[in-house]
Amino acid sequence: MAQQKKIARIFIALNIIIVFIYLLACLEPFLNAGEFWFIAILGLIFPLLFFAMALFLIGGLIARSRYSWLTVIALLISWQQLAAVFSWHLPKTFIEVKAPGNLRIFQWNVSSWDERSKMKREDVTYRGQMFAEVKKSNADILCFEEFLESEDSTWFAPNVNELTKMGYPYHYYERSYENKFKKSELGIIIFSKYPIVNTGTFDFGDRISVQQLIYADVQYNNQTIRVFAIHLQSVRFGKKEYQSITELKHSDKSGLDDSKTIVSKLKRGYHFRSTQAEIVGSFIHKSPYPVILCGDFNDVPNSYTYFTIRGNLQDAFLQQGSGIGRTFRFISPTLRIDYILADKKFTVNQYYRLTVPYSDHYGVMADMSLNK
């Protein structure tokens, strides 16, 4: 009996600790992540905290513990975050043929069209497969981050011309980083099958990390819509940091030694993204036209960054996706950091996640119709 009481006390203590940490993570959307970075870091493990809460709730109900109410109350309080992180729809089959009156949007961080990764595979490139996926998508508007364009076709074939020939006669490209030695440039681009009548850009200032906001006003069905493409501050994890995270997962001492560098880079990223998110939010607010926003936020959906940008927009994944919707292939299965957001004047009809290993990000697509 004494042993059972001891186990029960340990269970209750752990339950209270998890609830406290969980509620701290729930504060993230309301606190500037640049100042409260330690809470923002908790937000990264929010789905894991939720699953821990669910396990404690099940255990508490089985044990008929009155402390189960504490877990229930915490889960009810966190509904806003749960509704942003998880899409509660059942999985649906994506219909490749577009329904009449639908506009298909394709968002993808193309990671230099695999140029940086191909050397690991003895110069075997996925560029051809990536273009095949773009063509197969039959999207009307493409938004690509880390878009590589080269003037030297002997080194890397031009990509803008390839996509123009694919049926995208209109585009707006903003260069972020230039490699003069290889006569190439990296940037962010919007392609459209419909006329682009106006464009604009805002440079967040960190050109090496490709941080920008661009927009294109597109004429669609006798109306103008404003399409934003953004790429927010990266944490700039390199090979060393990824290796350290792997070692941390296995409690390796060398991984623990590098954890200070990882936290420092996370702090820096939160600081920049908080300001960038506020700038993006002001651009959306000032738009004279219905907005579609695509981008790599480098932040999760329960974050200050996400909520600041989303505002009154719809998240296409939450409307028609299911589950967690991971878009970054590494580190954790819970990282959804690529988004398609749309004005409420649109109805989101379909959502699709392109889970191919050609970039470090998965592509996402959405079909939507503009309400009259």
Report which DSSP code applies to 208.
Answer: G
What's the confidence (pLDDT) of residue 120?
Answer: 62
Q: What's the pLDDT score for residue 49?
A: 95
What is the pTM (predicted TM-score) of this model?
Answer: 0.88
pLDDT tens-digit readout, 52-62: 999 999 998 88
Fold type of domain 103-370: Deoxyribonuclease I; Chain A (3.60.10)
**Mean pLDDT of the region 333-348:** 96
Mean pLDDT, residues 249-268 taken together: 63
Distances (CA, A) of 40 to 61, 74, 158: 31, 18, 40
Mean predicted confidence (pLDDT) in 346-353: 97
Q: What is the pLDDT of residue 242?
A: 39
How far is residue 296 from each of residues 14, 315, 347, 359, measured CA to CA in Å? Answer: 36, 14, 22, 13
Higher pLDDT, 122 or 30: 30
Q: What percent of the chain has pLDDT over 90?
A: 63
pLDDT in tens, 165-217: 999 999 999 987 666 545 567 889 999 999 999 999 998 875 555 578 999 99
Beta-carbon contacts of 36 under 8 Å, excluding residues fewer than 6 positions away, are: 27, 28
Cα-to-chain-centroid distance, residue 258: 26
Q: Which long-range contacts (CB under 8 A, 24 or more apart) does 36-44 make?
A: 37/266, 37/267, 37/270, 37/271, 40/266, 40/270, 40/303, 40/304, 41/263, 41/266, 43/300, 43/302, 43/303, 44/300, 44/332, 44/335
Dihedral of CA 332/338/344/349: which sign?
negative
Which residues in the chain are classed under CATH 3.60.10.10? 103-370
Looking at every residue in the chain, the average pLDDT score rounds to 87
